[in-house]
Amino acid sequence: MDTKTLIYLVVGATFALYIAIAIWTRAGSTSEYYVASKGVHPVLNGMATGADWMSAASFISMAGIIAFAGYDGSVYLMGWTGGYVLLAMCLAPYLRKFGKFTVPEFVGARYYSQTARVVAVICVIFISFTYVAGQMRGVGIVFSRYLEVDINAGVMIGMAIVFFYSVLGGMKGITYTQVAQYCVMIFAYMVPAIFISIMITGNPIPQLGFISEAAGSGQSVIERLNGLGAELGFSAYTDGTKSTMDVFFITMALMVGTAGLPHVIVRFFTTPTVRDARKSAGYALLFIAILYTTAPAVAAFARTNLLTSIPNVSYATAPAWFKAWENSGLIAWADKNNDGIIQYSPGAALVGTPSFTGERGAHEQRLLKNPLSPVPNELYVDNDIMVLANPEIAGLPGWVIALIAAGGLAAALSTAAGLLLVISTSISHDLLKSNIMPRINEKQELLAARIAAGVAVLIAGLFGIYPPAFVAQVVAFAFGLAASSFFPVIVMGIFSKRMNREGAIAGMIVGLTFTFTYIVYFKFINPTMNTAEHWWLGVSPEGIGTLGMVFNFLAAVVVSRFTAPPPEHIQHLVEDIRVPRGAGAAVDH
């Protein structure tokens, strides 16, 4: 059976499974739609949280960025992993004990203000749509290559699938779908990693293969990778180019941004008790660690395979995978010296993304509209294809390639569904039910949530068709927005009795506005200035959420000190949230 047929069969089977689960778990009430009736077992919730958390950024893009950035890419590993530990151990149990449906509902109740709740809804929408842009781009990338459709058409197919099971099943349907998606995702990530680890090092455990000797070279994998890069003029894989300041700020933004992500936080509202929330956090950490400890090995193996298969090869004899990925526009060759040989060296090969004229050159190369000269590099490789193309580069069997396609889609769709649910519940529950239309009944509220989810899917699709950057970079911006808006208000809401509504509102507005403005200026308004010498204090847009968080804290503390303290019952509520006795099933607020 050929690879294309296998891909259709495997991807089709997983889609059929997701849809069947959505039909089986159709939500019939707002409690089922918002928090799965708070009845999800900790192990299943841990798997669903892992799928929700390990998005297309983790599955598709993170190892790709590490493959090209080397040491600098470690910020994603450190920030995202550390952030989940912070959320799971320090914040999630308290939020579950509070017992609300959504993060804006927590903000509104804790800060005794509908205005604070509305500001929180706006923050949710900003964060979630930024995050979902990366997921929809990931869906488009997978479809464009493996199903041989245009990226935009791939995004639309993904929209249809997500719309079906997120709108129909709500949190109940999404939870059990994400359990299936986690199984597909982790199996798809680990199988090729194990195969390639055996091929390169002889060790079947990728984490150990990463620090082992590359077969027949007498060097470790990293030493060999450094040598291969040096031969082509690249700096050592283990060298970093970012300043220590920027590394710290990006890592911190990713870490505290994780602890403020509404679609991850809401997962802890779905367990029966606070104790179960803690258990599910532990299980999720274990499930997440399987992929995150493997990612550095996958990155190194992918980079090694690329450097040994493409540079200084005649285009006429280039491997089949290269020309297959060319069709997706995510890899391209510009024959600048007209010798028919693919040269790969430091520097951007192209301005922007490849744009094929439809004509062929003397060596059958695609003629591109935007080659960059006089930089000698002729090869453009999109970060986001490295994990997906790795099995093909390594020459693995067709069923493994089909598996990686299904895994990439599972990663993107699982997180997209969680984000869209958060958007829809924030609009229906926190905006309509609590502010604009307080008298609507449960059936009308459920209908409003489903309509909001449908509209959100359409907007998410537009973001996927016109993405602002690589998947992991887009997601990094979402984390920065979460760090600068939600993290301070949640931390102070749990641990500070003195923090009042005026301080919380001021902090969220200041933090979100500063971070959003900084990102938009450097990424969209004036991208030519997006260099270290022009950044404020040397902090990149990916790391600016840390400064936004600091400004949020400062604004909140200053404003709260000059305004009235919270009512006494709110101060008692804060004390009650932190009392350990709520950990059991007997006391569950």
Whole-prediction pTM:
0.81
Quick one: DSSP state of residue 341?
A: E
Query: Could you read off the pLDDT of 360-378 as tens digits, one per residue?
Result: 888 878 888 878 777 888 8
Q: What CATH number is given to the structural domain containing 235? A: 1.20.1730.10
Residue 509 included in any domain: no
pLDDT of residue 500: 93
For residue 190, pLDDT over 90 is answered with yes
For residue 431, pLDDT over 80 is answered with no
Query: Which range among 506-515, 568-577, 580-589 has the greatest average pLDDT?
Result: 506-515
Type of residue numbered 502: E
Quick one: DSSP state of residue 567?
A: P
Residue 215 included in any domain: yes
Beta bridge partners of 368: 356
For residue 587, pLDDT over 50 is answered with no
> Model confidence at 165, in pLDDT bands (50, 70, 90)?
low
Residue 497 included in any domain: no
| Average pLDDT of span 338-354 | 84
410: closest CA among 129, 142, 145, 168?
A: 142
For residue 20, pLDDT over 90 is answered with no
More confident residue, 18 or 400: 400
> Cα-Cα-Cα-Cα dihedral of 295, 298, 300, 305, to 10°?
-160
144: closest CA among 513, 503, 412?
A: 412
| Average pLDDT of span 469-494 | 76
Beta bridge partners of 366: 360
Residue 12 included in any domain: no
Match 């986690």 to its residue by tokens: 182
* Distance between CA atoms of residues 324 and 193, nearest Å: 21
pLDDT of residue 169: 59
Query: Could you read off the pLDDT of 278-335 as tens digits, one per residue?
Result: 788 888 888 988 998 999 999 999 999 888 888 788 888 888 888 888 877 778 888 8
| Average pLDDT of span 390-401 | 89
Estimate the crossing angle of helix 151-201 against helix 274-292, to 10 degrees. Answer: 70
For residue 124, give its domain range. 42-302+394-469
How many independent structural domains does the chain possess?
Answer: 1
For β-strands 313-314 and 331-333, DSSP reports them as unpaired
| Average pLDDT of span 481-495 | 88
Do residues 277 and 90 lie in contact, with contact meaning Cβ atoms separated by under 8 Å?
no
Query: Could you read off the pLDDT of 447-474 as tens digits, one per residue?
Result: 887 788 788 888 877 877 776 554 555 6
250: closest CA among 460, 521, 69, 495?
A: 69
Residue 5 included in any domain: no
% of the chain at pLDDT higher than 70: 92
> 469 in helix, strand or coil?
coil
Beta bridge partners of 220: 213
More confident residue, 540 or 137: 540
For residue 93, pLDDT over 50 is answered with yes
Mean of the per-residue pLDDT values of the chain:
82
DSSP string for residues in 251-281: HHHHHHHHTT-HHHHGGGGSSSSHHHHHHHH
90: closest CA among 247, 216, 260?
A: 260
Radius of gyration of the chain (CA): 24
Residues with Cβ < 8 Å from 149, sequence gap 6 or more?
143, 157
Residue 265 included in any domain: yes
* Distance between CA atoms of residues 589 and 105, nearest Å: 14
Is 337 buried (19+), middle (13-18) or exposed (0-12) by CB count in 10 A?
Answer: exposed
More confident residue, 545 or 356: 545
Residue 311 included in any domain: no
pLDDT of residue 588: 47
Q: Which long-range contacts (CB under 8 A, 24 or more apart) does 437-444 make?
A: 442/29, 442/30
For residue 586, pLDDT over 50 is answered with no
Tokens of 507: 């902090």
> Model confidence at 204, in pLDDT bands (50, 70, 90)?
very high
More confident residue, 260 or 197: 197
Residue 155 included in any domain: yes
For residue 191, pLDDT over 90 is answered with yes
Q: SS3 for 435-451, per residue?
A: HHCCCCCHHHHHHHHHH
10: closest CA among 377, 386, 410?
A: 410
pLDDT of residue 582: 43
DSSP string for residues in 508-556: HHHHHHHHHHHHHIIIII-GGG-STTTSGGG--TTTHHHHHHHHHHHHH
More confident residue, 483 or 28: 483
Do residues 100 and 458 lie in contact, with contact meaning Cβ atoms separated by under 8 Å?
no
